[in-house]
Chains A and B, each alone.
Chain A
Amino acid sequence: MGKNSAAHPGQTSYVKKNEGISDAVLKKRGFRYLLKNNIGFFYILPWLIGFAVFKLYPFASSFYYSFTDYDLFKDIISFIGLDNYKQIVETAKIRKAFHVTFRYAFMTVPLKLAFALFIAYILNFKIKGVNLFRTMYYIPSILGGSVAIAVLWKFLFQTDGLINQILSNLRITGPNWLGDSHYSLLVVSLLRVWQFGSPMVIFLAALKSVPTDLYEAASIDGAGKTRQFLKITIPLITPVIFYNLVTQLCQAFQEFNGPYIITNGGPLGSTTLISLLVYQNAFKTYQMGFASAISWLLFLIVMTLTIISFMSQKYWVYYSDEDGR
């Protein structure tokens, strides 16, 4: 980031140069001058248009729809105030979906991150064949979102699938993973945990960037490996932990493919995440207004959690460059 801030003074002096010029001259330069001075704006214009059309407008209109009884089969849209939201709160099925989504996220994210950090920590020792291991761990996350891997997961957890076959070799009778509402959510979240590859790669890069002299100094002071890990490694990689936490949390609250393909929300709604519920209401029964309201509640939850994480940064995330980037 140092490079960036060093480049800025050059930019400001460029602007300052123009301050001495009289308004008349500036005016004469007119549009061409304006264009030249703000040329960067034209480069971001495609994105800005895309943002306005495909993001901002939909975002705002979904807020509006959430207060209507918009139904694709009805011609008239009427404003019904908070009725949709009321109905959401009163419907047990939907309350359960929110509950399930929270359980899913708070089960998946910590497990995934802990695992990613653990493996990255081991890989960071002088291990022969680091690249081979890294590849092995990374493949599931590259393919993991695909339908094919969801099919594989469904296959592994059949009553006589690979998992139960292995368990029966150990003289354990495996449960009916996908048919039993006690286990189904676990199976679906394990699919995500299994894809710990990308946070792991990020952790590994961060661990490599921790200066080794810190460890040397600590070990001279008599700190053991565990203490070094807790007192040096963890604090120094908190920015990366934070980054992974936020991205994974956002992803977890939007999970769709896994539960949709593996269990289709069942059994007994035990894997019906909010995203599935939105999909069903919007694109199966075409209750656009009601589905918008559900999706907006989900958005509010994700936003609140993101804001909380960002605000909590100052209590636990340590940025080495104090200039605030």
Chain B
Amino acid sequence: MTRKQRYLINTSIRYLVLLLVGLVMIYPMLWMFGASFKADNNEIFSSVGIIPRKFSIKAYIEGWHSTEYTFLTYLINTYKIVLPKVLGTVISATITAYGFARFQFKGKKLFYAILLSTLFLPQVVLNIPQYLLFRDMGWLTPVLSYFPLIIPAFFACDTYFVFMLVQFLRGIPRELEEAAKIDGCNTMQTLWYVICPVLKPSIVSAALFQFMWSSNDFMGPLIYVKTVAKYPASLGLRLSMDAEVGFEWNKVLAMSIVTIIPSLIVFFAAQKQFVEGVTAGSVKG
């Protein structure tokens, strides 16, 4: 076998593996997408094909109205939680990261060690006492029920993002900031006029991840949001699943797709930032 032949065989094996794995990754989702347009369970469970015999959006219409409130309510609720949470995370994480990455002060090492160790603190341990804390604060009433989900974000409680931004900041040279200092900027101005513009891609990255994670969040709302009118999409979907008596899969799948479409759009609009964000904490250039 010549060198060239071997190269060809190797390359084609690689592509074959990649395509097969890609198929395993994507096909279930495509099948789900197809199934949401299929007429009934019979058709769904009788073929592995994606394309329905007859396109019908009945499942979407019925699914949309399958619970007490329409899915519009749930989707709006989701973003009533997610958007403030993203905003809070971005502001607090940037400020905290700036403090850690650019200043010396007493106890900095200790505080940073604490910050890193909270990365490994399982949320499961905190759920119960946090619930009791929020109860004592009076945040479990239907009106305030988003507070337990949103307010901690304004205090940089998702420490992963602080860690991520510190890593990014360390890679940014300080010359600009020094120039700003000479020009008479105080640290606050430096943060706003110098750091934020330079750090913008990473901040966007953090915002995107927080957006995804909090849109997907299920356990948080499950614990704190008790009134159906306030349900975010994740709980709404679960509700429509339980409400389904004969379990018409096409309806449930249709609503599943409705809940992930915003996330998918965001993902495709900002793929690059996701890839950069995920490698931030781990790989040093």
- Contact surface of A with B, Cβ cutoff 8 Å: 1, 3-4, 7, 11, 15, 37-44, 46-51, 53-55, 57-59, 61-62, 65, 119, 122-123, 125, 127, 133-140, 142-143, 145-149, 151-152, 155-156, 158, 160-162, 165-166, 169, 194, 198, 201-202, 205-206, 209, 239-240, 243-244, 246, 250, 253-254, 256-257, 260-261, 274-275, 278-279, 282-283, 288, 291-292, 295-296, 298-299, 302-303, 306
In the complex, how many angstroms separate the beta carbon of B151 from the nearest chain A beta carbon? 8
Q: Does B123 contact A (CB under 8 A)?
A: yes
Contact among A15, A37, A260, A275 with B124 in the assembled complex (CB-CB below 8 Å): A275
Interface residues of B in 167-204 (CB under 8 A from A): 170-171, 173-174, 187
Q: How far is the CA of A39 from the CA of B99 in the complex (A)?
A: 8
| Chain B residue with Cβ nearest A307 | B120
Q: How far is the CA of A151 from the CA of B253 in the complex (A)?
A: 8
Name the prevailing secondary structure of the B interface residues. Answer: helix
A-B contact pairs, 19 of them (CB 8 A): A43-B96, A46-B155, A51-B114, A55-B121, A61-B132, A119-B18, A125-B14, A136-B22, A147-B216, A147-B218, A152-B28, A155-B252, A161-B45, A198-B278, A254-B123, A254-B124, A257-B216, A288-B128, A299-B124
Q: Are the C-beta atoms of A46 and B154 separated by less than 8 Å? A: yes
Q: Are the C-beta atoms of A209 and B253 separated by less than 8 Å? A: no
Q: Are the C-beta atoms of B129 and A38 separated by less than 8 Å? A: no
Q: Are the C-beta atoms of B170 and A46 separated by less than 8 Å? A: no
Interface residues of B in 46-68 (CB under 8 A from A): 46-48
Q: How far is the CA of A233 from the CA of B175 in the complex (A)?
A: 36
Q: Are the C-beta atoms of A47 and B256 separated by less than 8 Å? A: no
Q: Are the C-beta atoms of B129 and A65 separated by less than 8 Å? A: yes
In the complex, how many angstroms separate the beta carbon of B194 from the nearest chain A beta carbon? 14
B21: chain A residues within 8 A (beta carbon): 119, 137
Query: Given contacts A62-B128, A295-B122, could you give 7 more A-B pairs where the C-beta distance is less than 8 Å?
Result: A47-B99, A47-B155, A160-B45, A198-B278, A202-B278, A278-B124, A279-B219
| Chain B residue with Cβ nearest A303 | B120
Q: How far is the CA of A160 from the CA of B47 in the complex (A)?
A: 10
Q: How far is the CA of A136 from the CA of B188 in the complex (A)?
A: 42
Q: Does B100 contact A (CB under 8 A)?
A: yes
Q: How far is the CA of A61 from the CA of B274 in the complex (A)?
A: 36
Q: Does B31 contact A (CB under 8 A)?
A: yes
B131: chain A residues within 8 A (beta carbon): 282-283
Q: Are the C-beta atoms of B18 and A139 separated by less than 8 Å? A: no
Contact among B96, B215, B283 with A146 in the assembled complex (CB-CB below 8 Å): B215
Q: Are the C-beta atoms of B48 and A169 separated by less than 8 Å? A: yes
- 1/0 per residue B1-42: CB within 8 Å of A? 000000000010011011001101110110110010000000
Query: Known contacts A3-B170, A205-B283; is A257 also within 8 Å of B218 by CB?
Result: yes
In the complex, how many angstroms separate the beta carbon of A304 from the nearest chain B beta carbon? 11
Q: Are the C-beta atoms of B129 and A61 separated by less than 8 Å? A: yes
Q: Are the C-beta atoms of B103 and A40 separated by less than 8 Å? A: yes
Q: Are the C-beta atoms of B170 and A1 separated by less than 8 Å? A: yes
B278: chain A residues within 8 A (beta carbon): 198, 201-202
B113: chain A residues within 8 A (beta carbon): none
Q: Are the C-beta atoms of A298 and B124 separated by less than 8 Å? A: yes
B275: chain A residues within 8 A (beta carbon): 134, 138, 201
B72: chain A residues within 8 A (beta carbon): none
In the complex, how many angstroms separate the beta carbon of A285 from the nearest chain B beta carbon? 12
In the complex, how many angstroms separate the beta carbon of A27 from the nearest chain B beta carbon? 18
Q: Does B241 contact A (CB under 8 A)?
A: yes
Interface residues of B in 231-283 (CB under 8 A from A): 233-234, 237-238, 241, 249, 252-253, 256-257, 259-260, 263-264, 267, 271, 274-275, 278-279, 281-283
Q: Are the C-beta atoms of B99 and A146 separated by less than 8 Å? A: no
A303: chain B residues within 8 A (beta carbon): 120
Q: Are the C-beta atoms of A62 and B126 separated by less than 8 Å? A: yes
A136: chain B residues within 8 A (beta carbon): 22, 25-26
B279: chain A residues within 8 A (beta carbon): 201-202, 205
Among all A-B residue pairs, the 5 with the closest Cβ atoms: A50-B155, A40-B103, A43-B99, A58-B129, A148-B256
Q: Are the C-beta atoms of B133 and A58 separated by less than 8 Å? A: yes
Q: Does B145 contact A (CB under 8 A)?
A: no
A198: chain B residues within 8 A (beta carbon): 278
In the complex, how many angstroms separate the beta carbon of A306 from the nearest chain B beta carbon? 5
Contact among B32, B126, B264, B271 with A58 in the assembled complex (CB-CB below 8 Å): B126
Query: Known contacts A165-B47, A261-B238, A279-B219; is A147 also within 8 Å of B25 by CB?
Result: no
A54: chain B residues within 8 A (beta carbon): 126, 130, 133, 152, 155, 157
Contact among B45, B105, B155, B212 with A53 in the assembled complex (CB-CB below 8 Å): B155
In the complex, how many angstroms separate the beta carbon of A19 from the nearest chain B beta carbon? 15
Q: Does B80 contact A (CB under 8 A)?
A: no
Q: Does B156 contact A (CB under 8 A)?
A: yes
